[in-house]
Amino acid sequence: MSYRALLRDHRGLLGIAFLAMFTSSLGQSFFIGLFQAPISERLELTAGQFGTAYAVVTLAAGFAMLRFGPLIDWVAPRRFALVVLVALLTGILLLTAAPWWWLGLLGLGLVRFCGQGMMTHLGNTLAGREFVSLRGRALGLVGMGIMLGETALPPLMAALLMWLGWRELWWLLVAFLALFWGPVLLRGPWPRAPGRRPARGQRREGPRPFREARFWQLLGLLMILPVTMTGLFIYQARMTDDLGSSLTVYSLALTGMGLAKLPGALLGGRWVDRLGPVRLARLYLMPYALALVVAILIGGHTGVWALMVGGGLAMGAQESIATSLLVRLWGAEHLGTVRATLSATMVFATGIAPALLGIALDLGAAFSHILIGMLALLVIGWALAQGVLASPEAGGT
């Protein structure tokens, strides 16, 4: 089935998952970063204090994902979405209107947890669980919701800031999203929950990923891309300086990364359905590995462009590959639990990695050495995952 036919026959469910992914933009770092200065001013925080507070609430959101993410395995998705939306709205109101700084930080934490965390979790779990033979294509399509947010919202917000304050912009965007969520919640083709809620006092059945060796073996493969790309984003000034490039070139390369995500998502989704997630899991990091080699050996503008475009291709394909692989290994009925565990682990790692990278740079490490370390971690993570990918449970050979 082509993407056109998939949209024709399943546009309702795909629309719900796509809307959830787009709504997650409100809690993504790229969106909150647009308002870092006015938020810091409102909460009376310095830039450094805001960064520390942001890291703390992000880690708290990761722990909350471990507790509440698995609920989607037995709570009806419509109810799950409604609760998350109410919590997200509460967070936005606290962030924009709370009279005390600590309430504002609580609001920021709710926005991070419900936006980047639970909304992304909802969209990916619905697409990964409700589609079987077309899972890769479905995940590729709904993943474009985040890409739309990353592409459209920054220039739109920058333009609107000429006429509106930052708080009014948040409220306007909430009102805009409500125009879509209202009809979807009332008349959308919501699926049923795949399992039953455990009885009170009864031990919850299902996988315990942290207690399984295969989960830890896969982590390096699935986490190397978000962890290292986070480092590249945060230390962009040092990277461009050490590689002999400029922030202007980096800004243009970011646009190239956004464009590269589109073929990564669409082709990755199609190939997952045709070749299976195991084969793709062995190959999808190759563009990023080659980009790291180019940046290490050549550097300059070419190296920066290679990192962004190679990273974009791999990032576009990763979600459909990772989610399909989790379904293959743990089953669709437990996807919420396993995805929540993986998402929480990624949150922890992406929160800690910039600090470790900063320490290395403060100790005098050149960025080319950092890139060599990233390449080494990629190879190690790939090698550790091969045993799981070749296992009978994964259907590997």
- Same structural domain, 219 and 311: yes
Average pLDDT, the chain: 85
Residue with tokens 């947010």: 149
What was the pLDDT predicted at 395?
64
| Contact (Cβ atoms closer than 8 angstroms) between residue 63 and residue 344 | yes
Q: What residues have CB less than 8 Å from 266, skipping those under 6 apart?
A: 3, 140, 141, 316
Integer Cα distance of 337 and 125 in angstroms: 10
Number of domains into which the chain is organized? 2
Integer Cα distance of 292 and 299 in angstroms: 9
pLDDT band at 394 (very low <50, low <70, confident <90, very high): low
What was the pLDDT predicted at 201?
54
- Same structural domain, 165 and 234: no
Helix axes 236-243, 247-275, angle to 10 degrees: 100
| Contact (Cβ atoms closer than 8 angstroms) between residue 358 and residue 220 | no
Lowest mean pLDDT across 5-19, 314-328, 343-357: 343-357
Residue 396 pLDDT exceeds 60: no
| Contact (Cβ atoms closer than 8 angstroms) between residue 27 and residue 153 | no
pLDDT band at 202 (very low <50, low <70, confident <90, very high): low
pLDDT in tens, 70-106: 888 888 899 999 999 999 999 999 988 888 888 888 9
Q: In residues, how long is the chain?
A: 397
Residue 240 pLDDT exceeds 70: yes
Residue 204 in domain: no
Residue 164 in domain: yes
pLDDT in tens, 351-378: 677 777 878 888 888 888 999 999 999 9
pTM for the full model? 0.81
Residue 193 in domain: no
What CATH number is given to the structural domain containing 15? 1.20.1250.20
Helix axes 120-130, 135-160, angle to 10 degrees: 160
- Same structural domain, 217 and 176: no
Integer Cα distance of 316 and 264 in angstroms: 4
pLDDT band at 292 (very low <50, low <70, confident <90, very high): very high
Q: What residues have CB less than 8 Å from 35, skipping those under 6 apart?
A: 166, 170
Residue 175, domain extent:
1-188
Per-residue pLDDT, averaged over 268-282, amounts to 85
| Contact (Cβ atoms closer than 8 angstroms) between residue 337 and residue 69 | yes
Integer Cα distance of 121 and 207 in angstroms: 17
Residue 198 in domain: no
Residue 202 in domain: no
What is the DSSP track for 21-81? HHHGGGGSHHHHGGGHHHHHHHHT--HHHHHHHHHHHHHHHHHHHHHHGGGGGTS-HHHHH
What was the pLDDT predicted at 152?
83
Integer Cα distance of 373 and 218 in angstroms: 19
Integer Cα distance of 9 and 18 in angstroms: 15
- Give the other-Cβ count within 10 Å of 12's Cβ: 12
Lowest mean pLDDT across 8-22, 86-100, 190-204, 308-322: 190-204
Q: Supply 196's token pair.
A: 């039953």
Q: Between these two residues, 290 and 328, which has the higher pLDDT value?
A: 290
Residue 376 in domain: yes
Q: Supply 257's token pair.
A: 């990364």
Integer Cα distance of 62 and 197 in angstroms: 23
- Same structural domain, 170 and 244: no
Alpha-carbon separation of residue 170 from 39, 94, 329, 337 (angstroms): 12, 12, 40, 31
Coil, helix or strand at residue 205: coil
pLDDT > 90: percent of the chain? 23
What was the pLDDT predicted at 183?
93
Residue 12 in domain: yes
- Same structural domain, 122 and 15: yes
- Same structural domain, 252 and 288: yes
- Same structural domain, 164 and 119: yes
Report the Cα 12 to chain-centroid distance in Å.
Answer: 23
- Same structural domain, 125 and 223: no
Residue 350 pLDDT exceeds 80: no
pLDDT in tens, 116-125: 889 998 998 8
- Same structural domain, 180 and 254: no
Q: Which of 138, 158, 188 is the last residue of a domain?
A: 188
- Same structural domain, 140 and 95: yes
- Same structural domain, 164 and 217: no
Residue 55 pLDDT exceeds 90: no
- Same structural domain, 175 and 272: no
pLDDT band at 159 (very low <50, low <70, confident <90, very high): confident
Residue 197 in domain: no
What was the pLDDT predicted at 204?
58
